[in-house]
């Protein structure tokens, strides 16, 4: 069955298109009075989403310490109030979680790199030498990306002609494959913090920065790859590389490019927003940080000292345009627009549509096979600090398919949403599970060790110092409830661990059967998680989810 | 590879056991500092300690120290059972007073460097290095 027929069958195909087109036009979305003399176009965290998708923003995104109540740790009605966004408006749909299912039916899917191409082309029509900068997490996250080892994304991104890129999940392709692609990449592969792990010296293949002459201005773009790759992802897949924040080296690079005559310094970052804020407060001389990793989408820049930080969302849902006025070696002003990619409003670039379809053609039947459906009340989404409904389905699959007491699913921030009453295809399952280390393990753990894991992951999210955060969300748990006080120090946050099937407290000395996936340990064995989830959904036929109350959050 | 649903397979999330709490400062560490400084006050400036915020591998954590004009720099892993890491001595002909090494950290703890400066005073720098199970990266 064709994808378009499936959308029609679920009742929100053409109708959504008309509704969106009545309230919005492509011209409105692209409207921008060209400003200054330099334009930056920022895309980031696309996670291999070539086609339009649904993507629900988080309901819970807690800020700790100084970040409490600060952007981007504001959601829903508070977020709309902060930016003067009307309830039910296109911006409310794009940027907040409320009424997601009904707004999705009105405004339709978002993203699609053929639509992104149209936006890029429109900006280049205004400013032909605009810089296109990709913040990374591009060559990861879909069926076709997995099977082509990132080649589908490389082919399509090359056609968009970026000027520079930095990295995170790309390294989970393994260093041989990353090196192979980067050696042939027709644009700059940047990362001032990508080092050789043996000698702790800058890696040869990745340059720290690149100079561009734009509008008579010398612009230096410095790359900052994800600092915690060997910790958050399997180190054994790229043992030759070492990362880290290395803000002392960042300062050295800023000083070096300023010394070489840079009039404008842009950092293309995969730090995550809070880490970028801290870095901006410690490193002087950066004009703009194009921020990625934590998937935040903000309609206005955040100013730290003299540095503007721009957050451009994820999954191809947004493109940021940033125009700069640089005169006499100084940035005098900045104008910014976060452009939501409403796929029914922005016309696709036919050349890119064709290219995308060519990447997908060999896999078409596999991608489009319908595995199950959501029921009329079940929206599947992932984003949020604690369990999303997609994660609940994945944890249920692990519990039943692997006969486990407790399931653990990683708190990654990628993965599109599925609306109520929508078909779930194999592609949809891969969009929330695809990775190069997807083996679903099954192992015994003591209650004490389970507690240690939760404390460890919680500290990676809720440590008050952003430099000790890794930018993922909390590990998702099935079959067990717990209480978390986010304000407490490590070792004191997690309590009241309860095995849901019996209602009994978890005994630190007792052993439990735990199933999970995405282990960073080499040699992990088990069936691939997408096969586990597919088997589960196939048995269910219709997937229904209910509110998950197993995590009690305190200190908010 | 075929797996039955009840196959038990190790190597799940975190094969190594890590303790919940950051490691406490051992009394031996404070003794080492007192021995090095003779109990003198330590200032904050004059020494730079560079260490990762989160260790990529707790078994081999790269650190470096620099203290212009110093005659000696003591490096301690405050939470290790044996906290002493190294004492670097710099003679009058030394081109620079800096050193790099790799250390093993048993768990999350502070790494401390104390320099004996040219004027005989002492300077201290400290950095918390986190050792974590990992995984779950956004």
Predicted confidence (pLDDT) per residue in B91-118, tens digit: 988 889 999 999 999 889 999 999 999 9
Nearest CA in chain B to A471: B138
Nearest by CB to B12, from A293, A294, A443: name it. A443
CB-CB neighbors (< 8 A) of B24 in chain A: none
Closest chain A CA to residue B1 = A527
Q: Which of B9, B15, B20 sits opposite A491 (nearest CB)?
A: B20
- How many Å lie between the alpha carbon of B39 and the closest alpha carbon of chain A? 31
Which residues, including other chains, have CB under 8 Å from residue B15's CB and lie 6 or more apart?
A521
Mean pLDDT of chain B, nearest integer: 84
Asked if the C-beta of B56 comes within 8 angstroms of chain A's C-beta atoms, the answer is yes
pLDDT value at residue A21: 67
Q: Which residue of B17, B100, B138 is in closest CB contact with A449?
A: B17
Confidence of residue A8 (pLDDT cuts 50, 70, 90): very low
DSSP bridge pairs for A424? A372
Asked if the C-beta of B136 comes within 8 angstroms of chain A's C-beta atoms, the answer is: yes
Give which of B49, B118, B116, B45 is closest to B77, Cα–Cα: B49
DSSP A89: S
- What residues of A are in contact with residue B109 (Cβ under 8 Å)? none
Q: What residues of chain B lie within 8 A of the CB of A271, using their CB?
A: none
From chain A, the residues in CB contact with B100 under 8 A are: 200
| pLDDT greater than 70 at residue B17 | no
User: What are A502-514's pLDDT values in tens digits?
Assistant: 999 999 999 999 9
Q: With the CA atoms of A524, A447, A470 and A173 taken in that order, what torsion angle do they form, in degrees rounded to the nearest 10?
A: 10
Cβ atoms < 10 Å from Cβ of A544: 14
Per-residue model confidence (pLDDT) at position A281? 98
Position with higher pLDDT, A141 vs B9: A141
Token pair listed for A353: 């549509």
pLDDT confidence band for A181 (50 / 70 / 90) = very high
- pLDDT value of residue A10: 35
> Helix-strand-coil percent breakdown of chain A, rounded to 5?
35, 25, 40
pLDDT score of A389 more than 80:
yes
Shortest Cα–Cα distance, B69 to chain A (Å): 21
Tokens of A285: 């001389």
Neighbours of B23 (CB within 10 A): 18
Tokens of A202: 């800058």
C-alpha angle A409/A413/A417, rounded to 5°? 90
CA–CA dist A235, A228 (Å, integer):
10
For residue A487, pLDDT beyond 80: yes
Give the E-state strand segments of A21-98 in sequence order.
Answer: 38-43
Q: Copy the structure tokens of residue A331.
A: 């940035």
The shortest CB-CB distance from B138 to any of A294, A465, A467 is to A294
Give how far A141 is from chain B: nearest CA, Å: 12
Q: Cβ of B12 and A524 within 8 Å? A: yes
pLDDT of residue A556: 85
Contact between A457 and B108 using a beta-carbon 8 Å cutoff? no
Q: Which fold has domain A3-358?
A: Purple Acid Phosphatase; chain A, domain 2 (3.60.21)
The burial class, CB within 10 Å (0-12 / 13-18 / 19+), for A389 is buried
Name the phi and psi angles at B31, rounded to 5: -60, -40
Q: Which of B3, B108, B136 sits opposite A527 (nearest CB)?
A: B3
Closest CA to A160 of A281, A42, A333, A288: A42
Which residue in chain A has the smallest CA separation from B21?
A491
Q: Look at residue B4 in the predicted model and tell me its pLDDT.
A: 59
d(CA B114, nearest CA chain A) in Å: 20
* pLDDT tier for residue B135 given thresholds of 50, 70 and 90: low
- This model of the complex carries an ipTM of 0.84
Predicted confidence band at A3 (pLDDT cuts at 50, 70, 90)?
very low
Q: Which of B88, B63, B60, B61 is nearest to B74 (CA)?
A: B88
B27 has a chain A CB within 8 A of its CB: no
What pLDDT score does B16 carry? 44
For residue A439, the 8-state DSSP code is B
Put simply, whether B8 touches A (Cβ < 8 Å) is: yes
User: Which helix H or strand E contains A202, and what residues bound it?
Assistant: strand A201-202
Alpha helices (H) along A260-345: 273-282
3-class SS of residue A38: strand
- How far off is chain A from B113, nearest CA to CA, in Å? 18
Q: How confident is the model at residue B27 (pLDDT cuts 50, 70, 90)?
A: confident
Overall average pLDDT of the B74-90 stretch: 92
Nearest chain A CA: its distance from B3 CA (Å):
7
Q: What is the percent of chain A with per-residue pLDDT over 70, rounded to a whole number?
A: 96
User: Residues A128-170: pLDDT tens digits?
Assistant: 999 999 999 999 999 999 999 999 999 999 999 999 999 999 9
Dmax (CA) for chain A in angstroms is: 70
Lookup: tokens for A317 = 């849902």
Whole-angstrom CA distances from A13 to A8, A180, A378 are: 5, 41, 19
Tell me how far CA of residue A355 lies from CA of A118, A152, A349, B56, in angstroms: 14, 9, 10, 39
Query: How many inter-chain contacts (A to B, CB under 8 Å) are there?
Result: 155
Listed residue (A131, A155, A351, A134) closest to A223, CA to CA: A134
Q: Choose among A180, A265, A183, A264: nearest CA to A224.
A: A265
Digit-coded pLDDT (tens) for A253-288: 999 999 999 999 999 999 999 999 999 999 999 999
Rounded to a whole number of angstroms, the distance from the CA of B24 to the nearest CA of chain A is 13
Average confidence (pLDDT) over A308-326: 98
Residue A519 is nearest to which of B53, B128, B135, comparing CB atoms? B135
Q: Which long-range contacts (CB under 8 A, 24 or more apart) does B2-10 make?
A: B3/A525, B3/A526, B3/A527, B5/A401, B5/A402, B5/A403, B6/A402, B6/A403, B6/A442, B7/A442, B7/A526, B8/A442, B8/A443, B8/A444, B8/A513, B9/A441, B9/A442, B9/A443, B9/A524, B9/A525, B9/A526, B10/A441, B10/A443
| pLDDT given for residue A23 in this prediction | 77
The nearest alpha carbon in chain A to B49 belongs to A248
B4 close to A (CB below 8 A): no
Indicate the pairing of strand A288-291 with strand A209-214: unpaired
Contact list in A for residue B22 (CB cut-off 8 A) is 490-491
- Asked if A552 and A482 count as a contact pair (C-beta separation under 8 A), the reply is yes
The shortest C-alpha distance from B107 to chain A (Å) reads 12
Q: Among A199, A278, A460, which would you mutate to test the B interface (most chain B Cβ atoms within 10 Å of its Cβ)? A: A460
% pLDDT > 90, chain A: 93
A514 and B12: CB-CB below 8 Å? yes
> CA angle A170-A173-A176, nearest 5°?
110
Q: In the structure, what pLDDT confidence band is assigned to residue B28 with cuts at 50, 70 and 90?
A: confident
**Which residue did the predictor score with more confidence, B18 or A321?**
A321
Domain parsing of chain A, residue ranges: 3-358, 369-554
Are A226 and B137 an interchain contact pair (Cβ–Cβ within 8 Å)? yes
Are B20 and A455 a contacting pair at CB < 8 A? yes
Contact predicate B88/B116, CB 8 Å: no
CB contact under 8 Å between B138 and A457, yes or no, is no
Assign A57 a pLDDT band (cuts: 50, 70, 90).
Answer: very high
pLDDT in tens, A455-471: 999 999 999 999 998 87
- Give the bridge partners for A41, in sequence order: A132, A321
Using CA atoms, how far apart are residues B76 and A27, in angstroms rounded to an integer?
A: 62
> What is the C-alpha separation between A248 and B131, in angstroms, rounded?
21
Q: What is the CATH number of domain A369-554?
A: 3.90.780.10
For residues A387-400, average pLDDT: 97
Q: How far from each other are the two terminal CA atoms of chain A, in whole angstroms?
A: 47
Q: Span A439-448, mean pLDDT?
A: 94
For the residues of A134-145, what is the DSSP string, one character each? E-S--S-SSHHH
In this complex, the residue of A200, A518, A527 whose CB is nearest that of residue B135 is A518
Give the pLDDT of residue A6: 31
Q: Which residues pair with B66 in a beta bridge?
A: B48, B98
Cα pseudo-dihedral A423, A427, A430, A436, rounded to 10: 170
pLDDT of residue B93: 87
Give the residue ranges of DSSP H helices in A425-544: 426-433, 447-462, 529-540
Which residues on adjacent β-strands are paired with residue A380?
A: A418
Question: Among partner residues B8, B21, B133, which is closest to A442 by beta-carbon distance?
Answer: B8
Instruction: Using CA coordinates, name the residue in chain B closest to A527.
Output: B3
Tell me the average pLDDT of chain A.
Answer: 94
Over residues A426-445, the mean pLDDT reads 96
Q: Which residues of B touch A199 (CB under 8 A)?
A: none
* pLDDT at residue A485 tops 90: yes
**Which chain A residues touch B56 with a CB distance below 8 Å?**
197, 230-231, 235, 242-244
Say how far apart CA A168 and CA A289 lie, in whole Å: 17
CATH superfamily of B27-129: SoxY domain (2.60.40.2470)
Characterize the bridge pairing of strands B48-50 and B61-66.
Answer: antiparallel
């Amino acid at each position: 069955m064709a994808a378009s027929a499936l959308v029609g069958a679920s009742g929100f195909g053409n109708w959504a298109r008309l509704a969106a087109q009545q309230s919005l036009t492509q011209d409105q979305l692209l409207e921008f009075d060209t400003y200054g003399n330099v334009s930056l176009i920022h895309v980031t965290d696309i996670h291999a989403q070539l086609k339009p998708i649904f993507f629900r923003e988080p309901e819970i995104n807690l800020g700790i310490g100084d970040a409490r109540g600060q952007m981007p740790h504001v959601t829903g009605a508070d977020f709309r109030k902060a930016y003067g966004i009307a309830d039910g408006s296109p911006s409310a749909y794009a940027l907040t979680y409320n009424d997601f299912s009904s707004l999705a039916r009105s405004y339709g899917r978002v993203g699609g790199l053929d639509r992104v191409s149209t936006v890029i082309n429109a900006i280049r029509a205004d400013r032909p030498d605009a810089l296109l900068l990709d913040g990374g997490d591009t060559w990861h996250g879909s069926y076709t990306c997995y099977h082509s080892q990132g080649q589908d994304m490389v082919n399509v991104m090359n056609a968009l002609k970026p000027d520079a890129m930095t990295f995170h999940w790309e390294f989970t392709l393994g260093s041989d494959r990353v090196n192979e692609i980067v050696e042939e990449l027709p644009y700059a592969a940047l990362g001032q913090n990508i080092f050789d792990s043996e000698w702790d010296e800058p890696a040869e293949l990745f340059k720290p920065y690149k100079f561009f002459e734009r509008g008579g201005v010398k612009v230096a773009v410095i790359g900052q790859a994800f600092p915690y790759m060997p910790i958050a992802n399997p180190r054994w897949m790229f043992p030759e590389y070492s990362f880290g924040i290395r803000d002392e080296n960042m300062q050295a690079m800023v000083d070096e490019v300023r010394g070489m005559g840079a009039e404008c310094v842009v950092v293309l970052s995969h730090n995550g927003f809070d880490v970028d804020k801290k870095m901006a407060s410690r490193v002087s001389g950066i004009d703009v940080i194009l921020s990625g990793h934590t998937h935040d989408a903000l309609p206005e820049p955040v100013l730290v000292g003299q540095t503007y930080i721009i957050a451009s969302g994820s999954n191809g849902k947004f493109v940021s345009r940033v125009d700069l006025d640089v005169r006499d070696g100084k940035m005098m002003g900045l104008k910014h627009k976060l452009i939501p990619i409403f796929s029914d409003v922005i016309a696709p670039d036919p050349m890119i549509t064709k290219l995308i379809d060519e990447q997908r053609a060999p896999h078409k039947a596999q991608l489009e096979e319908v595995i199950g459906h959501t029921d009329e009340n079940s929206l599947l989404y992932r984003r949020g600090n604690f369990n999303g409904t997609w994660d609940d389905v994945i944890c249920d699959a692990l519990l039943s398919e692997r006969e486990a007491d407790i399931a653990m699913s990683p708190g990654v921030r990628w993965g599109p949403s599925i609306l109520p009453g929508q078909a779930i295809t194999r592609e949809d399952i891969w969009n929330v599970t695809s990775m190069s280390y997807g083996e679903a393990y099954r192992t015994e753990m003591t209650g004490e060790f389970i507690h240690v894991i939760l404390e460890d992951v919680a500290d990676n999210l809720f440590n008050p110092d952003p430099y000790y955060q890794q930018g993922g969300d909390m590990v998702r748990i099935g079959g067990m409830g717990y209480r978390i006080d986010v304000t407490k120090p490590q070792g004191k946050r997690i309590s009241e661990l309860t095995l849901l099937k019996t209602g009994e407290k978890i005994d630190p000395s007792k052993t439990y059967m735990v199933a999970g996936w995405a282990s960073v340990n080499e040699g992990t064995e088990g069936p691939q998680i997408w096969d586990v989830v597919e088997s589960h959904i196939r048995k269910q036929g219709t997937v229904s989810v209910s509110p998950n109350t197993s995590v009690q959050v305190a200190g908010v | 590879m075929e797996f039955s649903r009840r196959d038990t397979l190790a190597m799940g999330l975190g094969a190594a056991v890590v303790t919940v709490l950051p490691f406490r400062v051992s009394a031996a560490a404070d003794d080492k500092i007192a021995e090095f400084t003779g109990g003198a006050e330590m200032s904050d400036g004059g020494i730079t300690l560079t260490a990762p915020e989160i260790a990529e591998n707790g078994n081999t954590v790269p650190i470096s120290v620099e203290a212009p004009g110093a005659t000696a720099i003591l490096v301690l892993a405050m939470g290790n059972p044996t906290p002493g890491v190294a004492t670097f001595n710099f003679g009058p002909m030394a081109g620079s007073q800096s050193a790099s090494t790799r250390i093993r950290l048993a768990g999350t703890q502070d790494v401390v460097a104390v320099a004996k400066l040219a004027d005989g005073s002492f300077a201290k720098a400290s950095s918390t290095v986190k050792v974590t199970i990992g995984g779950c990266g956004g």
